[in-house]
Amino acid sequence: MPYQSLNPTTEELMEVYPEIEEGALEAALDRAEAAFKSWRQTDFSSRARLLRRAADLLDNRAVAHARIMALEMGKPVGDGVAEARKCALALRYYADHGEAFLRDVYTRTDASESRVSYQPLGPILAIMPWNYPYWQVFRFAAPALMAGNVVLLKHAPNTPQCALEMVDLMREAGFPPDVFQSLFLTNDQAARVIEDRRVAGVTLTGSTAAGRKVAAAAGKALKPSVMELGGSDPFIVFPDANLEEAAKIAAFSRCLNGGQSCIAAKRFLVQESILNGFLSDFVEAMTAQVVGDPLKDETRMGPMARRDLRDGLAEQVRKSLALGARALCGGETPSGRGFFYPPTVLIDVPSHAPAATEELFGPVAVVIPFKDEADAVRIANDTTYGLGAALWTTDKERIARLVPQIEAGAVFVNGFVKSDPRLPFGGIKASGYGRELAREGMIEFMNQKAVWIR
């Protein structure tokens, strides 16, 4: 797929960018290697100062960055502003805490002194998606840069302007030019970069299919890797929950970013005794979403990012309906310009239908009734994915019982699953491995060196 900016609202092709030539790629890798040798010697206070400058620039120009996101992948401007400011939050978080996270950890052994020391590994290839085009990058780059690693960014082919804007931002903040590079790589070039001796590791946020390929390449090259992949997150509602709030948050979680989020709630598990009441509130909240031009302030959901993504989602819904599922709202592709798809609620979905077996990466919710706690846990865990889960109940004993049983990298109780710089983020099973954010994410690409002195 070529690197091109295509407006998903108007279908206008704004710009096409050439993929990097082999000679330029070789030069970029040489520069990254040289930059690492210098950057790793930079003291923590100097790195923190640059991270804070980048955060200030993001905050000051949040609206401008949000407009680029809206034009390239359809994110409403208000959501784009929030994304830019969340990136600034992450940059400041690691500026404030990064040095403490990497202090030597002392322990008692048979030596007079023994400790674990942390050193950066080198240039890390970051293969990043389009759905959160700034946040996905900075939630990796902030800890990596603070740790002394350098970043080689392969951004999604449909968000090249976002990639270039981030490069300009980091240079304006004062980072050495080769510490944060954007490379418009082909997939074959990316595979060769993973193998290259100058590259120390790879992180990918994307589909499970892409993750299998990149993880295999990293394993063959004996390179550390972090895979943040897809999800089919359950949103479990018990009768003692605040049902009105749960329905509103359920709709918000399913439609945020056009439903194009790995950690969006996708399967809504509702106890049978409250199913009809929840469905009424949920459908009302889904149909109340304001869908339209992402540049307008009142819009809460823009178009999907690409035509193939919208058409693929529509086909998943069509096949599921043909197999017996019912749509309580939405379910039909609108006519007209733009890659829009309506908020959709499906019920009575057969277990073999695409809506039950595949990730729905768009504003389509599947509602599934359950009988009791055991049934809820069984359904929640009956997926190849294990990224996040939301549990809605006010029963503290139930929370204590169920949280350990849910197979996911994160469980949020009485709220929607989200990433936060203060908490590790990642999944299990087909949702990937490794962690981003918090201290756990920072040390993924560090040499955790044992030091023993007599």
User: Catalytic: 262?
Assistant: yes
Pairing status of strand 13-17 against strand 3-6: antiparallel
Query: For the chain, give me the number of helices (H) and strands (E)?
Result: 15, 18
The active-site residue out of 33, 83, 165, 228 is 228
The active-site residue out of 87, 162, 255, 262 is 262
User: Catalytic: 329?
Assistant: no
Question: What residues are annotated to the active site?
Answer: 228, 262
